[in-house]
Amino acid sequence: MRAAQKSAALGMFSEATRAWFAAALGEPTEVQARAWEAIARGENALVIAPTGSGKTLAAFLWAIDALMAEKARAAAAGEKWARGVRVLYVSPLKALGADVDRNLQGPLAAIAELAGARAQQAGAKAPEIRTAMRTGDTTPDERRKIVRNPPDILITTPESLYLMLTSAAREVLQSVETVIVDEVHALAGDKRGAHLSLSLERLDDLLEAPAQRIGLSATVRPRDAVARFLGGAHPVTVVAQEAPPALDLAVRVPVQDMTAVPAFGGFCGAGDGTRERGGGPRRAAVENAWKSDRAMRAVMAAESGAAPNPDSRLGTASIWPHIEAAILDEVLAHTSTIVFVNSRGLSEKLTARLNELYAKRLGLDGPRAESAGYWSDAGSAGGGNGA
């Protein structure tokens, strides 16, 4: 897609939204521009693109811009804003929903500030968009607040959506205009997906007109089948990134020889100038690396009966301190880092360990060390498979 087409897609938004997007993100990605074209036509859309392509923002930004414009018009005309949820975001992962809720606050505040400055010049009130979460962890008091004072954007799960539709809380959903279903590939083809399909049809029965459905997925096949799952009886436009991603792929090991892992020397204090690689572990000399698989297997067989000490990390031959230090170096060297692991438990342990090591590099300990970490909790990427 040419730059002119991307600019034209961004030009469909209000001046405040365009200004924020240009200042914060620059030029839209191809999948964002194509998704906006389909969404602007009122079509249901299945957006398929790799992680980091901006598909979640693409789904939300059009609805946010429309909400800002509607609230600004109502305020200028002196009309009372009709209460009710306008955008419904459904995720099979509670942790992902919490991340989306948190990540929405920045764009909402920035766009509202820009729109508010223009509204104040015209003597109008700055628009405000409110969000809320409704999951199994939501307290009864918070659920009642959602009913009494509905948010503009509601973030929920398939199960919580079913419970809302089955209770008096369904009244706050009678104003829904857009439904965003994230991680479609995790729902299509199983019982949770069938349950969600029924809930989406029940939701449409509450509305004067069917809500626009936008599905998001990083990888999904077959596309047409998943599109039918998303749309039900309604057609769905598939927006997919056709070009293969440009990968800069490298395989790295934090030690020279994994059969003779050197003892981890720990982290030096901040500012002492004695550490290399930001306080990382010592590497094994290349001449100590095993020259054959037979020698490596012999050593592994001989040491298979040795029981490692799980309580001791400093001075042990475990490879984990080396891996943790290497990951920490990557995190500190980049703006965004995604780490994939095998389980939620490992994600939680790794996240805690990264915070601890970062605090040690700053020379902190005790309560000061606990406040030094800035990594999100387990589940922030892939529902527990990333840290």
Which residues form the domain of 32? 3-240
Residue 115 lies in a domain: yes
Digit-coded pLDDT (tens) for 112-125: 888 776 666 555 66
Residue 375 lies in a domain: no
Digit-coded pLDDT (tens) for 22-48: 898 888 888 899 999 999 999 999 999
Q: What is the pLDDT of residue 245?
A: 67
Q: What is the pLDDT of residue 317?
A: 66
Residue 313 lies in a domain: no
User: Which single residue is written with the structure tokens 């996240």?
Assistant: 351
Q: What is the DSSP secondary-structure string of 350-384? A: HHHHHHHHHHHHTT--THHHHTT--PPPTTTTTTT
pLDDT at 21 over 80: yes
Residue 367 lies in a domain: no
Domain total of the chain: 1
pTM: 0.71
The enclosing domain of 83 has a CATH number of 3.40.50.300
User: Which single residue is written with the structure tokens 């859309």?
Assistant: 45
Q: What is the pLDDT of residue 1?
A: 59
Percent of the chain topping pLDDT 70: 76
CA distance 157 to 159: 5
Q: What is the pLDDT of residue 266?
A: 59
Residue 309 lies in a domain: no
Q: What is the pLDDT of residue 166?
A: 94
Residue 336 lies in a domain: no
What six digits make up the tokens of 334?
A: 């980049």
Residue 301 lies in a domain: no
Digit-coded pLDDT (tens) for 281-339: 444 444 444 455 566 566 566 655 554 444 444 444 678 888 888 999 999 998 888 88
DSSP 3-state assignment of 134?
strand
CA distance 169 to 174: 10
Q: How does 140-177 read in b/e, with b if 16+ C-beta sit within 10 Å?
A: eeebeebeeebbbbbbbbbbbbbbbbeeebbebbebbb
CA distance 250 to 59: 32
What six digits make up the tokens of 262?
A: 């050197």
Compute the C-alpha angle 143/148/149, nearest 5°. Answer: 95
Contact status, residue 179 vs residue 88, Cβ threshold 8 Å: yes
Omega before residue 210 within 30° of 0, cis: no
CA distance 203 to 200: 5
Strand-pairing partners, residue 87, are 153, 178
CA distance 303 to 317: 12
CA distance 281 to 313: 12
Q: What is the pLDDT of residue 312?
A: 44
